[in-house]
Amino acid sequence: MEKEGLKSSAFADIIGVNRATISHILSGRNKPSIDFLEKLLNAYPNINANWLISGIGYMQNKLEQKEVLVSKKIGKVVVFYDDNSFEQLNS
């Protein structure tokens, strides 16, 4: 809601749940049901379900993160050997 700048009533309308459901979840009275999570993820497919449930990882799906990684190029690679020597490989 915060990322999208939505009030709870608008958020409820977008994901297709009762406005009281959002109010109860935000107040801590109820925990989100599987049905609620499914509706939220259908409305916002870019949200990482693992993050939504556990708080672990990134908020957005890895597909969006891969797009950022693909645009980066490797400048150099440094290989460290067991004998404390190293080799620098430039692209």
Q: Are 39 and 17 in contact (CB under 8 A)?
A: yes
Q: Read off the pLDDT of residues 40-75 as tens digits, 9 standing for 90 and up.
A: 999 999 999 998 988 888 888 865 544 444 456 777
Q: The domain spanning residue 82 has which CATH number?
A: 1.10.260
Residue 75 forms part of a structural domain: yes
The pTM of this model reads 0.64
Residue 1 forms part of a structural domain: no
Residue 3 forms part of a structural domain: no
Q: Are 88 and 78 in contact (CB under 8 A)?
A: yes
How many separate domains does the chain show?
A: 1
Residue 2 forms part of a structural domain: no
Burial (Cβ within 10 Å: 0-12, 13-18, ≥19) of residue 12: buried
Nearest CA to 17 out of 53, 30, 75 is that of 30
Task: Name residue, tokens 């190293």.
Answer: 86
Task: Quote the domain boundaries for residue 67.
Answer: 8-90
